[in-house]
Amino acid sequence: MDNRDYAQLFLSESRENVAAVNQSLLQLERDSTGPDAASAVGAIFRAVHTIKGMAATMGYTVVADLAHELETVLDCVRRGELTIEATIMDTLFRSADVLEQAVEAAVAGREGEIVPPDLIASLRALTAEPTAPVVAKPRADTEPAPAPAVPPDAGETVRIWLQPGTPLRGVRAFLIVQALASIGEVVSTTPAIADLQNEDFDNEFSVRLATSQPAAEVARVVRAVGDVFDVQIGEPRPSGAWPSVPTPVWGTPAIMMTPAHDMAAMSAMTLTPAQGVVATPSKETRSESGRVRSVRIDVRRLDALMNLIGELVIARGRLTQLATELGHLSLEETVMQSSRLITELRDEITASRMVPVSQVFDRFPRVVRDASRAVGKPVDFVIEGKDIELDRSMLDEIGDSLVHLLRNAVDHGIEPPDARAAAGKPAAGRLVLSAVRDRSAVVIKVSDDGKGIDRERVLERAKRDGLVDASKTDLTEDELLRLLARPGFSTAEKVTGLSGRGVGVDAVYTKVRALGGAMDIRSVPGQGTTVLIRLPLTLAIMRALLARVAGETYAIPLAHVSETVELVPEVLRTVKGKEVLLARDEVLPLLRLRSLVGLPAYSPATEIDLEHVVVIDLGDRRAGLVIDELTGQDEIVVKQYDAVRDGPPFFGGATLLGDGRPSLIVDVSSLL
């Protein structure tokens, strides 16, 4: 099999390792002399070493060589030959960025690109090695295996059986040897190292290990590498005691490793269990008992499954309606059972698309670190709710928007250290990114303890641009958001590399609305600003309240429906010329859907035909939406649609009802 078949797997693994490098670099920068510094350096070294081995196996020489140079510097740090200081940290951060770019370029087929010579020179200068450019050609040098420091008959034999069908068996074997070398002295291997490298063995090999660690720890270290079926330490088991190895579930032939790199580089290859959804090829991971535990699936297949289950939900609605009309008892029971199964299938597919927000949030500490250094403002960045789950496609879409908000908070929200000191605040600003579940939605908050938004400057700019009346003296939170979200609107005195062009909030607001979410801004002068983003868990399917107005059916997301009441005269009032609703000792603004869509006022056929009010809410904002009648609840499949130019802005999509008729979905966030 061609190594290119594993390119996406390599890309996914490398991205995870680069993310781990960045996290550990941030930890090391915060506390370069503390008790956790050695742990951070070790974590960075292991991640870089893994990338090096995988790249060498795949034949991505430029990536492997760059990782080798970085690994050399890290090894000097680990041995105490280099002391962590600002220049070294800058070089390490830059190396991580270039390493990530080199990985992307290699997978995209641009492997011949040269890594910046000045970066290589900087890395080699740290270890006093002569400089030379890194080019895309195989390394001619090899590093001989160190001679054993103990007699060849010392130690115990560790026998390892790999899972049947393990891809890159030689790499996996080398990684196991390397792991054992970390807890003792590897005296010998059977077969020899060269045979392991050429995959000249079945699923079994053995290592002679001299170590003071107990057998349980040795077994744990081996199994932690992955793709290990079983481990035997010490004397061979009695005949018949060895469990039979199962027939391979899938017959992927092993990939022969290229001999261009040394054993240390090859040993770093590791294929970890999937975290979330990644690209093909599919890769099984197994528990110690040999049972399949998880499978990597191309995210496009999950998208296709979600589309199919959406169509199935639409068909279910039609079947349910037909069964009710026909009145056939057996048919109704069968449709009811099918409906239950479709619901369970939908829930399982939806759950398979959910991933922790940490998969995107974990890259933001580096973003904040770079932004704070660029403007000279120390920032204490905190992430909360990393285990909250969100649809993978939604999470990918919102990532860039959060980068906008974080950079904007660092550049405009948090004051310089001297200004903070004058205001009695700590020198370092506090920036918090959090995620919480709120019913069938996820609320993401970006909060800072900075100076807050200068409403007077915003109002002044809005008046100058003719966006508000010249007599206006104050802005509500909603008005403030709508002004800041206008394309090109900015109060920044100068444009920086981070913000100031008036596109940040606009881009975020547009993206959030496109995802069916809502956005709020709350700012207190001198205390800080909080941006709240409310997103549905998934875009594909939702429960909705169906309401009719003038013969047309509209869908209102049930997640934003608090209650429904009949519109009797006793609950109606007028305040400052506007209708309001009295609901449970609360005064709510009243919106009429007929008026919003440009239809004439409601004319009841009889005196008992009353309009209905749907009480909608979004966070702490509530209102009453007047409709003609309620027709029930249903699961709807959200279909994106191109709105009519200059048409009503309060529809966020469309759906097909059980009878095949289209229905517009009300965007509650645009009404409140």
Q: Note the pLDDT tens digit of each residue in 236-246.
A: 544 444 444 44
For the stretch 61-98, what's the b/e string if a residue is b when 16 or more beta carbons lie within 10 angstroms of its beta carbon? bbbbbbbbbbbebbbbbeeeeeebeeebeebbbebbeb
- Please check whether residues 423 and 381 belong to one and the same domain: yes
CATH number at residue 17: 1.20.120.160
- Please check whether residues 449 and 490 belong to one and the same domain: yes
User: Can you give the pTM of this predicted structure?
Assistant: 0.64
Residue-range definition of the domain harbouring residue 361: 356-536
29 SS3 class: helix
- Please check whether residues 320 and 221 belong to one and the same domain: no
**137 lies in a domain?**
no
- Burial of residue 381 (CB within 10 Å: 0-12, 13-18, 19+) is buried
Whether 465 has a pLDDT exceeding 50, the answer reads yes
Nearest to 425 by CA among 472, 377, 469: 377
- Please check whether residues 555 and 666 belong to one and the same domain: yes
Question: Rounded CA gap, 415 and 529, in Å?
Answer: 12
Count of structural domains, the chain: 5
For the chain, the average pLDDT equals 79
- Please check whether residues 598 and 614 belong to one and the same domain: yes
Domain boundary among 478, 510, 536: 536
Domain boundary among 509, 536, 563: 536
- Please check whether residues 393 and 437 belong to one and the same domain: yes
Question: Rounded CA gap, 196 and 178, in Å?
Answer: 13
**244 lies in a domain?**
no
- Please check whether residues 104 and 88 belong to one and the same domain: yes
With tokens 């030959």, the residue in question is 81
- Please check whether residues 528 and 563 belong to one and the same domain: no
CATH number at residue 228: 3.30.70.1110
**135 lies in a domain?**
no
- Please check whether residues 111 and 184 belong to one and the same domain: no
Q: What is the pLDDT of residues 311-367, one digit of tens each?
A: 888 888 888 888 888 888 888 899 889 988 988 888 888 888 888 999 889 889 999
Q: What is the pLDDT of residues 103-140, one digit of tens each?
A: 988 888 886 667 788 888 888 888 865 444 444 444 33
Most confidently modeled of 190-199, 215-224, 513-522?
215-224
The pair of structure tokens assigned to 162 is 């790999």
Q: How many CB atoms lie within 10 A of CB 463?
A: 14
What are the backbone dihedrals phi and psi of residue 585, each rounded to the nearest 5 degrees, phi first?
Answer: 65, 25
Question: Rounded CA gap, 37 and 315, in Å?
Answer: 59
Q: What is the pLDDT of residues 621-665, one digit of tens each?
A: 889 999 998 988 888 888 766 666 666 778 878 888 877 788 888
The pair of structure tokens assigned to 33 is 């002399």
Rounded alpha-carbon distances, angstroms, from residue 180 to 206, 345, 476, 592, 672: 11, 44, 64, 72, 62
Q: What is the pLDDT of residues 396-423, one digit of tens each?
A: 888 888 998 999 899 889 999 999 999 9
**134 lies in a domain?**
no
- Note the pLDDT of residue 257: 32
Q: Give the pLDDT mean for 169-182.
A: 81
Nearest to 54 by CA among 204, 198, 255, 277: 255
**572 lies in a domain?**
yes
Question: Rounded CA gap, 207 and 545, in Å?
Answer: 66
**245 lies in a domain?**
no
**325 lies in a domain?**
yes
**248 lies in a domain?**
no
Question: Rounded CA gap, 390 and 469, in Å?
Answer: 41
Domain boundary among 536, 555, 582: 536
Give the start-end residues of each E strand in 537-585. 541-549, 552-557, 561-566, 572-575, 578-583
| Helix and strand counts by DSSP (H, E) for the chain | 20, 24
Q: Give the pLDDT mean for 527-552.
A: 86
Whether 269 has a pLDDT exceeding 80, the answer reads no
- Please check whether residues 594 and 605 belong to one and the same domain: yes
- Note the pLDDT of residue 221: 86
- Please check whether residues 587 and 615 belong to one and the same domain: yes
- Please check whether residues 303 and 219 belong to one and the same domain: no
